[in-house]
Structure 1
Amino acid sequence: MTERIALDLPDGRVLDVQVSGPEDGVPFVWHHGTPGCSYQSADKARKLAERGLRYVSYSRAGAAGSTRNKGRTVADIAADVEAIADHLGAEKILTGGGSGGGPHALATGAGLPDRVLAVLAVCCVKPFVGQEDSFLEGMGADNVEEFGLAVEGEEALLPFLQKDREGIIEADAAGVIKTLDSLLPEVDRKVLTAEVGEDVIRNLQGGVQELYGWLDDDLAFTKHWGFELSDIAVPTYLWQGSEDLMVPFHHGEWLAANIPGVVPHLEQGEGHLSIVVASFARMLDELVPHLPR
């Protein structure tokens, strides 16, 4: 059974949180992609429960059910995750994130080194600041336009997101593929039309119910993250697919060279969506040894 929590935060905001799995399990806090929401996929729920982990998801500030935190940085997520852990009475947690959730997972590890046992970052964008010249190389056309508008600011970006929302909010797999056409290699198209595609689409559709979570993610990615990668002192595991058109392979290569002590998995033939479907069990199996005995 999944418990849904409207979590009151110390600064007066509310965070939409979902929790499932064994009550005595160490929480695995998952940071959704951009856009995304607290929706829990059946595949992740099953694999986490099999390993005795408690599945904790949430909608980032500004996404459906969570109060906006205008001007937030990536680093600000650590305080929200700390509030989740406090509410659950969890002294220690694991954390992971995919796509736009990747930087937030890294920020959680950097900001909560005494609570985070290990970090998983999947298809994670690299920092924009300091990497402007190469950041967009290899991205699909839609992402190039989206990040270009994000650099210009909220007023420039919001109409673009509203247009894409129309192609996602009530679409089936074919409609989502059409909207995201320039961002989907064949290996990811197959994921969207497979059984697990429904979970991916429901997460996307929940993520565009309200646009400020998506908007503020993009704005946060194009400024300083609020922490340095050198601040990460907990075990970190990085996964990236060579066919990814949302977050190009070179982002993973750069992060692999710049996160202290990271264990990289630079997978040939995998895309942005397919890598999680193919390898989530392997990802978790790397984290489990960090659990307290």
Structure 2
Amino acid sequence: MLASIDVNLPGGGVLRAHDAGTVADASSGPVLMWHHGSPQTGAPLEPVAAAAAARGIRLISYARPSYGGSSARPGRDVGSAGDDATAVADAFGVDRFATMGASGGGPHALAVAARHPQRVSGVVTLAALAPFTARFDWFGGMRAPGGLRSAREGGRAARARFAEADEFDPEQFLPADFAALEGAWSDLGADVARSAEFGDDGLIDDDVAFTSDWGFELAEVVAPVLVVQGEGDRVVPRTHASWLLAHLPDATLWMRLDDGHVSVLDVVPDAMDWLLEH
């Protein structure tokens, strides 16, 4: 049974955190912290919870600042997720855990391993951005990079102005992505819709953080990392996965030749098996 709590932070504010109730005995066994995409509420997605339950994995998650009931924190960097995640783990009585993040959650999953290496056993990223750099065409291959470009070029104020007129471009998704949203991953689409009630600030702050200094280096992530990428992804192109693979100390790449940004999530059960093996 899902349990949700508000975690009070030392510097003020709260994070809305969730325990998916995927195991009967929450005091033992492997624990996975899920890091949500941009934008979502942070509540556990049904396919992720089901895959965790089938493997005896305790699934916990939380909403990043300004998402899903968590306090606002404009100016946060990606690295701040390290302390946020460990505060959530402490609140749930969890010491060591693995992290998994999809899309915008991927960089934040890496942040936890970089900031608190002694607590993270392994990391999975799915369709995750690489840190911003001019050493490759970071925006290249993105069908709709406007939000990220505005954040990079004009900071938070420009990104907030962009949000006022932003519209979803369906050409970002492959037919396989729409099939996933109509089928196994319908809960993801519903969660994105639910996130609208919390406004645009979470997504705005995410995009500013992604295109700024992350507050840590990929070389600091010493845990084993599985990088999962869809070959046809038009939201986060494959060049980002290649950069992650080249700059993480212990990384493995699974390139999914027929997948886009959403359909790549079908690999979540296999990725959990990978974490259990590592």
Shared fold, TM over 0.5: yes
1:136 matches 2:139? yes
User: Residues 188 and 150 (structure 1 numbering): CA distance in 2 closer, same or farther, change over 3 Å?
Assistant: same
Structure 1 residues not aligned, in runs of 5+: 168-178
**Letter matched to residue 228 of structure 2:** W
Matches within 5 A, 1:181-260: 181-194=170-183, 196-208=184-196, 209-260=198-249
- Map of 2:121 onto structure 1: 117
1:35 matches 2:5? no
**Letter matched to residue 201 of structure 1:** G
- Map of 2:276 onto structure 1: 288
Shift in Å, 1:97? 0.2
Matches within 5 A, 1:157-168: 157-164=159-166
2: CA distance between counterparts of 1:26 and 1:114?
Answer: 15
Match of 1:86 among 76, 90, 95: 90
2: CA distance between counterparts of 1:67 and 1:225?
Answer: 20
Shift in Å, 1:130? 3.7
2: CA distance between counterparts of 1:77 and 1:7?
Answer: 14
Match of 2:260 among 271, 274, 277: 271
Shift in Å, 1:35? 1.2
**What SS does the aligned partner of 1:114 have?**
helix
% identical aligned pairs:
32
Shift in Å, 1:26? 2.9
Deviations 1:57-102 (A, max 9, x none): 1110111301111211100100001101111111111111011111
2: CA distance between counterparts of 1:232 and 1:276?
Answer: 23
Shift in Å, 1:38? 1.5
Aligned residue pairs, count: 272
Confirm or deny: 8 A CA contact 2:231 2:257 kept in the other structure. Answer: yes
TM-score of the pair, normalised by structure 1: 0.89
1:57 matches 2:61? yes
Confirm or deny: 8 A CA contact 1:99 1:125 kept in the other structure. Answer: yes
2: CA distance between counterparts of 1:186 and 1:105?
Answer: 28
Shift in Å, 1:160? 2.7
Shift in Å, 1:154? 1.8
**Letter matched to residue 266 of structure 1:** M
Confirm or deny: 8 A CA contact 1:113 1:234 kept in the other structure. Answer: yes
TM-score of the pair, normalised by structure 2: 0.93
1: CA distance between counterparts of 2:204 and 2:230?
Answer: 25
- Map of 2:146 onto structure 1: 145
